[in-house]
Structure 1
Amino acid sequence: MGDVLAYEAELLELVREYLNFAEFEETVKVFTKECKIKGKTLPKPAGVSSRDSQALPVQKDLLIAFDNGEQKVFFQLWEEHISPSVCDNDPAAQKLEFYLHVHFATYLLKHSVGKPDKAELEERISHFKAYLETKGAALSQTTEFLPFYALPFVPNPIVHPSFKELFQDSWTLDLRTRLEQFLSLTLKARQTPRLLTLFKENGQYNKEMLQHLHQQLVESEHRTMTCLKRFNKMQTDYHNLIGVTAELVDSLEATVSGKMASTMLRASLAPAKMQDVPLLPSLDYEKLKKDLITGNDRLKAFLLQALRWRLTTSYPGEQRDTVLQAYISNDLLDCHSNCQRNVLQLLHSKSEVVRQYMARLINAFASLAEGRVYLSQNPTLLQMLEERLKAEDKDSLTWENVLGALQKFSLRRALQSAMIKDGLIFWLVDVLTDADCLSDYTLEYSVALLMNLCLRSEGKKMCARIANRVLKVLSDLLGHENQEIQPYVNGALYSILAIPSVREEARAMGMEEILRCFIKEGNAEMIRQIEFIIKQLNSDEPLNDSIASDDEEEEEDEEDHDIMESDLDKDEVLQPQLGELAGEKLLTTEYLGIMTHTPKTKKKLFPSVHQSIDEPLQRPVTPGYHRTVYLM
């Protein structure tokens, strides 16, 4: 009771403040009267009245500044009275703030008699550009706002069809109404009674915060694993470079004095030697596959995500080899199954998230040479992937990952032949006609896939049937801003110009002049490759009979292209709720199995490069691997 008496005045004030907020006017009168009769002290409610008196003038001043186009006054008041947390976290507030900046940027164009003051107009446009590059940058990926990012660069927005609506009175009136409603709600919300705040902080608010923190923890754990994986790769590259440098120093010193100072370089590797990496726990694959087929869509997606993370975040070497070998020996993806209900059928799931996470897992498998061998044993998988490629939206992650898997499949001759036979070259040419609308990943993997198919004689012949279209697409891609695609464009051009009819078509469209334009602008490597292409273009040699018969050759051993690109784990749309298991915790809690590891000897990590970097590519590659190994 003593504690209550000590804080009695404050507690009574909390009650009265809430009653006032909820507009229990009669109750407040009775409550105040009874407190007075019982001799209870009530503090003077100065806080509430002062806030009430301030809300209206601020709202009025903001609306006046809006009507008069007073940009500086408006945003000064806005920053003072609108909480940053509201502007940063509330999508409606972000949207309103964006359109307010548009309003003030175009105010002079709408309200000036004659030509607006040039200096003031430039200042407003400059302010708008600064906003787009800072706070407004977050909305640049939203289709609704995208046209406005061109506004500062349009000479006369009044006559531009994209901005016609801005200069109608109805647009400004609608924006003012939305601003007025927002201010009424926001400024009133600042008067939230302390009783309500206390309840939120100790009730539902805590649950939401805990859930948010749990989600952050899961994301942090995954980022940590990804960083460890990248660090491990960088360390491996560093070791390789030091080893090569040591060999060079050995050779140089042997010719000069015979002293072996390179041993110092080798010694620098000793402290950085990696410790043994433990193997991951074995899993119950029968239970896993059963839940992948019969579980609900959310469980399926979490399992597909966790199984992929096992591959992508494991350490290259014994740990990753053991994970992959376990997946293959237990036929995780049912590549050897003829049943109608199998794991691969998840590619046709009604759930977009399940389809996406299945495509991501297949792409991860296809990133490893042994994974590609395993996947290629299913006679229907290639057709399923091609069907998904043509059915999915081109801007979806499902589409990207299906394309990535097909590109990696094109490292294998039998799958190359099947893709060429299925007409994938024609489809790729259509997609690359509008290259500017493709993501970097899609563009690189599309061009690299086209090149790999063009290396085969049947692929060249397919291109010869649409020579003009192929040459037009490739010549346009030569000047694309994405420099990563240049080696694949050069390789594809060089390959198809082995066909006399394609050379004839290229000469007719002035291909040599186009190529020489890029010689003036390109780097040394690009210039040397283009010189090879020009030489091929001007050749009069007939199609080589040995090249024409390459499709009859037996499957050759595939190079060890093992690269887990970071894009496999980008933009995760699946996040666990409070209490949900995800990732490795889901696997080891619900699907732990008996230890069945069977380590397998791994082939060499980096094969030798079989051609000079001066020449265009003449062997199948995948972009992630090519970027890593090409200079080596």
Structure 2
Amino acid sequence: MGDVLAYEAELLGMVKEYLEFAEFEETVRSFTKECKIKGKPVPKTGGGSAKDAKDLMIQDLLTSFTDGDQDVFFELWEEHVPPAIRDNEAIAQKLEFYLHIHFAIFLLKRSVVKPPSVSAHCYNKAALDERISRFKMYLETKGAALSQTTEFLPFYALPFVPNPMIHPSFKELFQDSWESDLKTRLEDFLSATLKATDAPRLLTLYKENVQCNQEMFQQLHQQLVESERKTMTYLKRFNKIQADYHNLIGVTAELVDSLEATVNGKMITPEDLQSVCVRLFSNQMMQSVVHSIDFTRPGTGYCCMSPCDDEYASTMLRASLAPVKVQEVPLLPSLDYEKLKKDLVDGNSRLKAFLLQALRWRLTTSHPGEQRDTVLQAYINNDLLDCYSNVQRSVLMLLQSKNEVVRQYTARLINAFASLVEGRLYLSQNPRLLQLLEERLKAEDKDSLTRENVLGALQKLSLRRALQSAMIKHELILWLVEALKDTDCMSDYTLAYSVALLMNLCLRSSGKKTCAKIANEVLRVLSDLLGHENHEIHPYVNGALYSILSIPSIREEARAMEMEDILRCYIEEGNADMIQQIEFIIKQLKSEEPLDDSVESDDEEKEDNDEEDHNSMEADLDKDEVLQPQEGELTGEKLLTTEYLGIMTNTPKAKKKPFPGVHQSVDEPLQRPVTPGYHRAAYPTSEDDALSSCSRDILAQCGQRSRPPTRCGKRPSFSEFCLPSSLPECNGYLGV
């Protein structure tokens, strides 16, 4: 109680301050009256004159904006808008950028309205040059922070354009609607910001506490993910060291037996020595070398060694690595799928969500190989998602559930299925699935995890030709182009899979023809994406550009837009891979080859042999779990094996001969369908500690992709004027 008394006056003042801020007038009077009755101190708070002063100040700012009085405006701006907001909040930084543009071109706009005299023209020319110089100085200092943002990149060329009024990239700036919209944004921003600066101390304390908790949670979550990744790496190293240890113990025991036999007069045969050497080599190729060595004649048997090297066998042994024994992984218990499917259709929403989560975890956390193959095969054999049936109340229909968590967890499970070749084949059996996914994609909020997983599933399904054709027919390309105009609200996963899906569809002849109908829009979107800060999307952007530029009409549109100048912006400072790919695109752009109709046969539906033999179970499938069990609730494998244990019917799936995938140089734009997860695995950007020296050499040749240049004076504007507000692979082990 003593602590309360020590801070009582301040606490009571904070309470009264908040009540006045929230306009609880009756409550304030009652509160003040009761404090006086009880003899409690209540400090006085400010009157209403502050509001009038605030309104006056906002009016002064808007007046100077309309009059083009740059000096007065920015003096008031810096005086009344707190530095913490001006320097740290993205909305304020973007607004300030547009305000500088407004004042830089103010005289140009006024000259269009009222033609000046000769002397006035000279005066305006000098004043205009001064304003342009101030804008350039702003771009080189404070405005440089936005040079990496696609939305503002074109405006860095504004000071160098002789007559921006007639330039197609800047003509919108000279519309009355643009200035009117900017003034409205300014007024809304000032009203919200200045009210926030006068926020009561009680509200400020609460917001700071919530923000602190959120930051701490995010930090702990990142630490957990990093710890899991390191755990997996160390586990692999441990398994290898353990395998080496056991192998060496076995070989040592054999050698001790051989030495003991030698002491007793028994000779060691060349076959015994060869057997020991074979056990110590790490792969079949090296074993064949060992078998070719004649141990009765030291120094012979291998062309790469000197005939004088009598210790060749021992040198070869010392240089070799012990094989890593594959750890035997037990099969997971069988389940009662009839009961599972019944509860998925008829159970309550919470049970459905827990079952969908558990079934997904069983697939994503299983060990790659026989265990995962058996889990997937059991799901398919029992038609878990009802892809083989036409019943009305199927598990797939959970995508249309009114419960948001059920929809999200259904989408996550379908995305997990689509991550595997056999899963994609199974999903493709249901003709309604594609329609359900496309409807859910367009109905969900932009930032929802449901939409993210639906998009991931569609992108992976686009590896199959029949589904590609259906997506193109359903005009998914048009939807993707429209969605990619605003990437600010997209997560890295959504952005990567959106661009990769667009590329896969653009590789087909019908997809290219669809792009030809909206050539200008497609080229503008892809040009903007070339400068995006997420460098993982660049291979897919390059692949899409290279593909659609095979259409003569699109090439003509690209030349009209000066696409070559845009592409060369990225050559000047780009990394080797990016430069090589862009050179291919420029070569395609300059091509004069007509459209060969005889080549258009790629739209025929050929048999899918899954040339897309891509299996990649990314960590994003299990991120941000929104479903948490209450005390006593079963989840995951415990829920499945406790309530849905079935008769042991697991049968290992017969492994089909892997399809020899078609690989291409990393220097060329992508020309075959691919998923981001598989592409990251096939063309990694950094070395893994567990890689062999041979793998390191390959990676050293491929190199690491660095971020392309995002600032160039030649780049035209393809962005809307608005103010909107990597994940390591861990195959086989995901935190649950």
Asked whether the two chains share a fold, i.e. TM above 0.5, the reply is yes
The reply to whether residue 55 of structure 1 matches residue 7 of structure 2 is yes
Measured against aligned partners, the alpha-carbon deviations of 1:49-100 in whole angstroms (never above 9, x if no partner) come to x33542325648989999xxxxxxxxxxxxxxxxxxxxxxxxxxxxxxxxxx
The partner residue of 2:529 within 477, 480, 499 is 477
The reply to whether residue 175 of structure 1 matches residue 200 of structure 2 is yes
The reply to whether residue 454 of structure 1 matches residue 506 of structure 2 is yes
Question: 2:648 corresponds to which residue?
Answer: 595
- Aligned partners of 2:585 and 2:493: how far apart in 1? 26
What is the Cα deviation at residue 265 of structure 1?
6.2
The one-letter code matched in structure 2 to 1:612 is: S
What is the Cα deviation at residue 278 of structure 1?
1.0
The reply to whether residue 618 of structure 1 matches residue 674 of structure 2 is no
- Aligned partners of 1:64 and 1:316: how far apart in 2? 62
Cα separation, partners in 2 of 1:392 and 1:432, compared to 1, 3 Å: same
Equivalent pairs, count: 479
The partner residue of 2:365 within 296, 301, 313 is 313
TM-score, normalised by the number of residues in structure 2: 0.58
Q: What SS does the aligned partner of 1:437 have? A: coil
Question: 1:463 corresponds to which residue?
Answer: 515
- Aligned partners of 1:59 and 1:162: how far apart in 2? 31
The one-letter code matched in structure 2 to 1:451 is: M
Gaps of 5+ in 2: 19-53, 59-71, 100-141, 143-184, 208-221, 244-281, 291-301, 685-697, 699-736
- Aligned partners of 2:239 and 2:407: how far apart in 1? 34
Cα separation, partners in 2 of 1:601 and 1:181, compared to 1, 3 Å: closer
Question: 2:250 corresponds to which residue?
Answer: none
What is the Cα deviation at residue 171 of structure 1?
6.7
- Aligned partners of 1:561 and 1:510: how far apart in 2? 37
- Aligned partners of 1:386 and 1:605: how far apart in 2? 31
The partner residue of 2:425 within 358, 367, 373 is 373
Moved more, 439-448 or 604-613: 604-613
What is the Cα deviation at residue 165 of structure 1?
3.8
The one-letter code matched in structure 1 to 2:392 is: Q
Cα separation, partners in 2 of 1:406 and 1:339, compared to 1, 3 Å: same
The reply to whether residue 162 of structure 1 matches residue 189 of structure 2 is yes
Question: 1:267 corresponds to which residue?
Answer: 321
TM-score, normalised by the number of residues in structure 1: 0.67
Cα separation, partners in 2 of 1:352 and 1:608, compared to 1, 3 Å: same
The partner residue of 1:385 within 437, 440, 460 is 437
Question: 2:681 corresponds to which residue?
Answer: 628
The one-letter code matched in structure 2 to 1:167 is: L
Question: 1:444 corresponds to which residue?
Answer: 496
The one-letter code matched in structure 2 to 1:617 is: L
**Preserved contact between residue 389 and residue 403 of structure 1 (Cα < 8 Å):** yes
Question: 2:350 corresponds to which residue?
Answer: 298
The one-letter code matched in structure 2 to 1:473 is: V
- Aligned partners of 2:543 and 2:235: how far apart in 1? 31
What is the Cα deviation at residue 262 of structure 1?
6.9
Identity of aligned residues (%): 63
- Aligned partners of 2:573 and 2:240: how far apart in 1? 31
Question: 1:192 corresponds to which residue?
Answer: none
Cα separation, partners in 2 of 1:234 and 1:65, compared to 1, 3 Å: farther
- Aligned partners of 1:415 and 1:121: how far apart in 2? 59
The one-letter code matched in structure 2 to 1:595 is: M
Measured against aligned partners, the alpha-carbon deviations of 1:579-602 in whole angstroms (never above 9, x if no partner) come to 111111110110001110110133
The one-letter code matched in structure 2 to 1:55 is: Y
What is the Cα deviation at residue 394 of structure 1?
1.5
- Aligned partners of 1:606 and 1:265: how far apart in 2? 33
- Aligned partners of 1:225 and 1:536: how far apart in 2? 45
The reply to whether residue 417 of structure 1 matches residue 417 of structure 2 is no
The one-letter code matched in structure 2 to 1:366 is: A
- Aligned partners of 2:650 and 2:396: how far apart in 1? 24
Which structure has more relative contact order (CA 8 Å, sep 6+)? It is 2
- Aligned partners of 1:478 and 1:237: how far apart in 2? 42
What is the Cα deviation at residue 613 of structure 1?
1.4
Question: 1:6 corresponds to which residue?
Answer: none
**Preserved contact between residue 460 and residue 496 of structure 1 (Cα < 8 Å):** yes
**Preserved contact between residue 465 and residue 605 of structure 2 (Cα < 8 Å):** no
Question: 1:350 corresponds to which residue?
Answer: 402
**Preserved contact between residue 302 and residue 583 of structure 1 (Cα < 8 Å):** yes
- Aligned partners of 1:429 and 1:510: how far apart in 2? 20
Cα separation, partners in 2 of 1:178 and 1:353, compared to 1, 3 Å: closer
Question: 1:561 corresponds to which residue?
Answer: 614
- Aligned-residue Cα RMSD (Å) equals 4.5
**Preserved contact between residue 530 and residue 541 of structure 2 (Cα < 8 Å):** yes
Question: 2:120 corresponds to which residue?
Answer: none
Measured against aligned partners, the alpha-carbon deviations of 1:387-407 in whole angstroms (never above 9, x if no partner) come to 111111111001010100000
Gaps of 5+ in 1: 1-47, 67-105, 133-144, 183-218
The reply to whether residue 397 of structure 1 matches residue 449 of structure 2 is yes
Measured against aligned partners, the alpha-carbon deviations of 1:472-498 in whole angstroms (never above 9, x if no partner) come to 111111111110000000000010111
Measured against aligned partners, the alpha-carbon deviations of 1:376-429 in whole angstroms (never above 9, x if no partner) come to 011111111111111111110010101000000010111111111111111111
Q: What SS does the aligned partner of 2:392 have? A: coil
What is the Cα deviation at residue 541 of structure 1?
1.1
Cα separation, partners in 2 of 1:598 and 1:225, compared to 1, 3 Å: farther
Map 1:515-534; keep pairs closer than 5 Å. Answer: 515-534=567-586
The partner residue of 2:628 within 575, 583, 599 is 575
Q: What SS does the aligned partner of 2:488 have? A: helix
The one-letter code matched in structure 1 to 2:356 is: L
Q: What SS does the aligned partner of 2:330 have? A: coil
- Aligned partners of 1:556 and 1:469: how far apart in 2? 32
> Could you say which structure has the higher helix fraction?
1
Question: 1:202 corresponds to which residue?
Answer: none
The one-letter code matched in structure 1 to 2:414 is: I
Q: What SS does the aligned partner of 2:7 have? A: helix
Moved more, 598-607 or 569-578: 598-607
Measured against aligned partners, the alpha-carbon deviations of 1:435-489 in whole angstroms (never above 9, x if no partner) come to 2321111110011001001111111111111111111111111111110000000
Cα separation, partners in 2 of 1:283 and 1:265, compared to 1, 3 Å: farther
What is the Cα deviation at residue 630 of structure 1?
2.3
- Aligned partners of 1:533 and 1:179: how far apart in 2? 53
Cα separation, partners in 2 of 1:245 and 1:476, compared to 1, 3 Å: farther
The one-letter code matched in structure 2 to 1:308 is: R
